[in-house]
Amino acid sequence: MALGTKRRRMWWTLAALLATASVSLAQAPAPPAPPPTAAPPAAPPSPVSGIRSKLSADDLLSAESILEVHRAKHGEDGAHLAGLSWLARGALLLGEPDKARRYAADVRARCADRIAHGADPGKDRDLETALGAAIEVEAQLIQRGRGARAAEKAEVDSIWKTVYTDAGSVPVVFSTASMERYGGSSTPTWVFVDRAGIVRGYVPYRLTEAEMDRALEKILR
């Protein structure tokens, strides 16, 4: 057989094999598609916007209700912590310092617990915001307390000078320690202490001159 004929047969054979392989590949089933990747669950909506809206309308109770609904649906998550800090700010803004103090203390305790369990305020925006708000509210409460104490001192000084002029120059002690030790919680409060340091009389109201003389006589006997 001539060399050219052999070559032609080889080419025809190779072409037939390639055609058969192509048909086989075309008829083969396609590989299954990979399963779709599940999207991460969406974060629950933050209650902060609604809380701020209610606070701007002077409605603290509705703001508290918004946070309670969020807590019931989503638990005490980061958004709940941020909302709680806004309630502290709102209570202070709306003239409810006792509520503001309780909310701020609650936020501080929750933040401390999260940090103790490894949370980083620098990486957790809700934690950072809530902690900053609680510190801000507590600082404002302290400042307001100082202003109230100064006003109270001025009032007591005025009363002392106008009502108890005959008593002369007597130091008026204002301190938490004195209140806790002697129970002075109103103005005026009279605490009669003898030479041994024993409290012999406690009068949380005004005394007439005669009443004061009688109280002193008992101590000086």
The per-residue pLDDT for range 104-138, each reduced to its tens digit, is: 999 999 999 999 999 998 899 899 989 999 999 99
> Environment class of residue 171 by beta-carbon count within 10 Å: exposed (0-12), middle (13-18) or buried (19+)?
exposed
Cβ pair 167, 190 in contact under 8 A: no
Note the pLDDT of residue 25: 47
Any idea where the domains of the chain sit in the sequence? Answer: 48-148, 173-220
Whole-number Å distance between alpha carbons of 76 and 109: 13
Q: Looking at per-residue confidence, does 46 or 19 come out higher?
A: 46
Please count the other Cβ atoms lying within 10 Å of the Cβ belonging to residue 204: 13
pTM above 0.75, yes or no: no
Whole-number Å distance between alpha carbons of 88 and 107: 9
- Express each pLDDT in 70-84 by its tens digit: 999 999 999 999 999
Whole-number Å distance between alpha carbons of 155 and 147: 13
What percentage of the chain's residues is helix, strand, coil (to nearest 5)? 65, 5, 30
Please count the other Cβ atoms lying within 10 Å of the Cβ belonging to residue 219: 13
- Express each pLDDT in 159-199 by its tens digit: 767 776 666 666 665 666 666 665 555 566 777 888 888 87
